[in-house]
Copies of this chain bind each other. A is one copy, B any other.
Amino acid sequence: MLNFAHLKKGSVIPRKTIYRLSIYLRCLARLRENGISTVSSEALAQAAGVKPTQLRKDLAYFGTFGTRGLGYDVGALSKKISDKLGTSRLQPVILVGVGNLGLALLSYRGFEKEGFEIVAAFDADPRRKRDKQIKQPIFGMDELSIVVKEQGIKMAILTVPAAVAQEVANHLVEAGIVGILNFSPIVLAVSEDVMVNNVNLAIELENLSYFTQE
């Protein structure tokens, strides 16, 4: 039968599916490290903590990659997912706000392994003394626009205090940033062509607290 999957409908992949694709990708990477070249939806779903049918549905949103009776080729599927997610090439990211948390993220090995490189950091006080050596240069906020534009950077990690987060976010958007990973505990107001992902550790703890109380 002919396959029209590639031009089907609005081709809108659910947000949750995209999130799970990232998880599948990491599970596939581990399988590959262990020299496993073929995997069934059942085994991969198990590793990712989802049901096999969900995994198959997720993949079906953007193609058909399996072989019936056999399963999926680990390498080929990794490649397809990686292409879809846009992480086949190393992506430059900046970090804004070099305090405690920002500094830790700057020295966090593991982004690079996952396809991201923090190429520069920015801070209101770039010369402030910091008790850790890092390899990235720290610039003042006035240089943000130039660096972003020159290097065509699209994503930023925001680790500034809540009080200035909105202001800094505006600055980022103005400079051309379209994706913000926001660690400040406030809801940023941005135009709808800018995407914000929030990471709020206190909320995560609070959430745990609720579900573990009796």
Contact = CB atoms under 8 A, between A and B. Distances in A.
A197 to B, nearest CB: 5
A65 interface: no
A201 B185 contact: no
B19 A209 contact: no
Copies per complex?
2
A172 to B, nearest CB: 13
A157 B85 CA distance: 29
A178 interface: yes
Contacts of A53: none
A212 to B, nearest CB: 4
A202 B23 contact: no
A22 B203 contact: yes
A64 interface: no
* Chain B CB within 10 Å, residue with most, of A116, A178, A204, A209: A209
Contacts of A197: 204, 207-208
A60 interface: no
A149 B178 CA distance: 47
A101 interface: yes
Interface in A53-99: 84-87, 91, 93
* Chain B CB within 10 Å, residue with most, of A109, A110, A201: A201
Interface string A165-192: 0000000000000111100011101000
A179 B18 contact: no
Pick the 7 closest A-B CB pairs, nearest first.
A104-B104, A179-B208, A114-B202, A179-B212, A86-B213, A22-B203, A49-B187
Interface of A: 15, 18-19, 22-23, 25-27, 30, 47-49, 84-87, 91, 93, 100-101, 103-105, 107-111, 114-116, 131-132, 154-155, 157, 178-181, 185-187, 189, 195, 197, 199-213
